[in-house]
Chain A
Amino acid sequence: MVVLTAVATIGGLTFLLASLLILANRRLHVEEDLRIDVVEEMLPHANCGACGYPGCRPFAEALVGGSEAPGKCSVSSPEGLEEIAAYLGVAIGEQVRIIARLACAGGSNVARNRAHYVGAQSCVAASLVAGGGKSCAWGCLGYGDCERVCDFDAIHMDSHGLPVVDSALCTGCGDCVDICPKDLFSLHPEDHRLWVACKNLEQGDVVLASCEVACTACERCVLDAPAGLISMRDNLPVIDYNRAHDTRVPIERCPTGAIVWIDDTAGSVRGAASKKIVRHSALPLAPS
């Protein structure tokens, strides 16, 4: 008898709860576009946020909803984008690749340190100790926080402790922009190839005491460039990217190579008149 009661109770409960679940499933059912799952599957699962959405799923929803074009995803390969566009029956849309650019060229062979830094080997930590050991208050500290934070393996420290962005791998997610304590990274369309690789606001030859590739504010680039393209602000050239900027002329007479041309294969190209860098080893500590 006891056994029967138990079985009946449990059985009854099971039946009751099951019917509740069935009811809930019917009443609370959400109609979702099945294509979202498919499109999300086609996206790169990077969840990097470069498209402006919090992750791949919200971007997939926007794609299916028609408010975005697949081209906005900077991580996906061209084939991947074609696949998504074909599946949804839309055009890929304008694809502007956004890439992180570094506004410093001061590796250890050209930029001096004024002090030895001892402590946690991280740029953020070093910058808290009197700005780090670098002579230039604006320059790259070279402990590689950007390399560590990059999810796409697109940043590598070169032999002089300067990060190099691999433009083929960079997705423009902006993680390096956030982490850099000196704010040296910024996101730019790939065609911004004319580039000022210096942030030092000091004027003239004093900057050369701390860095050989710093901008001395000589204004030759301003004179050589098409009128209005480059202007000087706080002792640094500022390029107006709203004008036609597909010219290498401004870099040619730069004495230090602070304004460069960024080439996908050759890296950053310095002008013909810039002082040759022959040194490979790190510079000694600046005299105090």
Chain B
Amino acid sequence: MLRARRQERCFAHGIHPPEAKDDTRDLPIKQFPFAPVMIVPLLQHIGKPALPVVREGQEVARGQVLAEPDGFMSVAMHAPASGVIQRIALAPGISGKMTPAIFLQPFAGSSQEVGEGVPCELASATPAEILLAIQQAGIVGLGGAAFPTHVKLKVPADSRIDTLVINGVECEPYLTTDHRVMIEQQADIFIGIRYLLKVTGAERAIIGVEANKRDVGAALQSALPADLPASVEIVAVKYPQGAEKMLIRALLDREVPSGGLPSDVSVVTVNVATTAEIGRLLPHGRGIQERVITIGGPGIRKKGNYRIPIGTPLRFALEYAGMAERVSRVFLGGPMMGQALSSLDIPITKGTSGFIAFTDAQTAPQPEYPCIHCAYCVDACPLFLNPSQLGLLSKAGEYERMADEYHLMDCFECGACSYVCPAHIPLVQRFRAAKGLVRKRRGSA
């Protein structure tokens, strides 16, 4: 154990939840069928909603632009299927809010072919042109955050990037989408890296892969083109290894400053599935209208990895995959940072890396006990915060003190503290609530 730790790169603190990836890691990516009605929300990313450029009743081809980006903090949306626009109306979103969405009814007999667009040539395009192409392709962080990729790649003028980190860690339990992408889309990943190196001006790329995917790492390493300045590094299996600050720490031993960005330490990190999509779409001038997700968990019959059209209603996807009896909870994303759902009428969006269904057996509510300062959470927090103290302050409503004295705003909500808490205190949920209130107050002040 100790020897293994010394060999593999790692960050300090963190936890090791059961990986639960065995069910789906060896299943090839399968194409998901089209739902009778697709719901494409105009806001699937962090930023401003896209502006629809289609009207009700209009017929669209698969891959056609449905909505244009509204400003820099916005990306385009593309038709997930050839069909007809039913209406543009409010639809339930993942956050629980009703958000405007385009309802699209696919044509039953259509070939569903995706047309070619204006390609973004790697050799001739300038970095600015590539950035624009990424925005027009509607690409966002596919790891789950759904942050517009072109915004992330727009490096501040005063900082210089030397290393591009490709995040193939996938530390969330159950999820195996990045795993499959790294096996099945290696060529796309390498093309994507070439685009990203050109945009950021980085000299080299490192693909970080968690040690439970060692075979994938070895396969990637041997397939690397000789002229690509990239390498594959194996990092220890630990949660949250896939958080970009943790990964940068593990791979390069650099610490992103509090409140800072990876560019402050000359690094840009991009998720491996995002990289693969850039490599797959940009040479053809296409937009992102489907993504790879894992459907898993004890409550699912046909577990697997699927290439699913964006906008597929969750209810349709669940019915297709088959729900076991007594499913009590469905999570979007992984069980650690994913979102519990209150409605099955929401669509799969660009940020959905998978969904997991649990039965009563896994989700029995645990009674909450008072904090006894055992400090398990302190040992778990990858950012060296003090969740115990933060938890007490949040109970007392001392949100300003949490932010000013205990660095609440640095918390990226990985949930390691809640996971280890023997008193079952919902720490990370309290911190999310507190962060929201602090942001609201500072925003209005």
Residues of chain A touching chain B, judged by Cβ–Cβ distance below 8 Å, are 114-115, 117-120, 122, 124-125, 127-134, 137-138, 149, 178-179, 181, 201-202, 288
Contacts and interface: CB of A to CB of B under 8 A. Distances in A.
A136 to B, nearest CB: 9
B436 A128 contact: yes
Contact of A129 (B342, B344, B430, B440): B342
Interface in B402-445: 426, 429-430, 432-433, 436-437, 440-441
Contacts of A125: 426, 429-430, 432-433
Contacts of B429: 119-120, 125, 128-129
A120 B343 contact: no
Nearest to A141: B96
B339 interface: yes
Interface stretch (B87-95, B200-208, B348-356, B371-379): B87-95
A77 B142 CA distance: 59
Nearest to A148: B397
A244 to B, nearest CB: 32
B426 A119 contact: yes
A201 B90 contact: yes
Contacts of A117: 342
Nearest to B368: A120
A120 B96 CA distance: 17
B96 to A, nearest CB: 1
Contacts of A149: 397
Contacts of A178: 440-441
Contacts of B95: 130-131
Interface string B58-101: 00000000000000000000000000000000101011111000
A125 B437 CA distance: 10
Contact of B433 (A124, A131, A137): A124
Given A125-B426, A125-B429, A137-B97, A130 B436 contact: no
A81 B90 CA distance: 50
Interface of B: 90, 92, 94-98, 339-344, 363, 365, 397, 426, 429-430, 432-433, 436-437, 440-441
B365 A137 contact: no
B357 to A, nearest CB: 12
Contact of B96 (A122, A131, A179, A201): A131
Given A127-B96, A129-B339, 9 more contacts: A114-B342, A117-B342, A118-B363, A119-B426, A124-B433, A128-B436, A130-B340, A131-B342, A137-B92
A130 B433 contact: no
B97 A120 contact: no
A73 B352 CA distance: 51
25 contacts: A114-B343, A115-B341, A115-B343, A118-B363, A119-B429, A120-B429, A120-B433, A122-B433, A124-B436, A124-B437, A125-B426, A125-B430, A125-B432, A127-B96, A128-B432, A130-B339, A130-B343, A131-B95, A133-B342, A149-B397, A178-B440, A179-B437, A201-B90, A201-B98, A202-B90
Contacts of A129: 96, 339-340, 342, 429
Nearest to B332: A130
B426 A130 contact: no
Among B339, B342, B343, B430: residue with most chain A CB under 10 A: B342
B361 to A, nearest CB: 15
Given A118-B365, A119-B426, A178-B440, A128 B433 contact: yes
Among B96, B98, B339: residue with most chain A CB under 10 A: B96
Contacts of A130: 94-96, 339-343
A174 to B, nearest CB: 11
Nearest to A115: B342
A113 to B, nearest CB: 8
A37 to B, nearest CB: 29
Given A125-B432, A137-B92, A131 B97 contact: yes
A274 B271 CA distance: 55
A260 B95 CA distance: 30
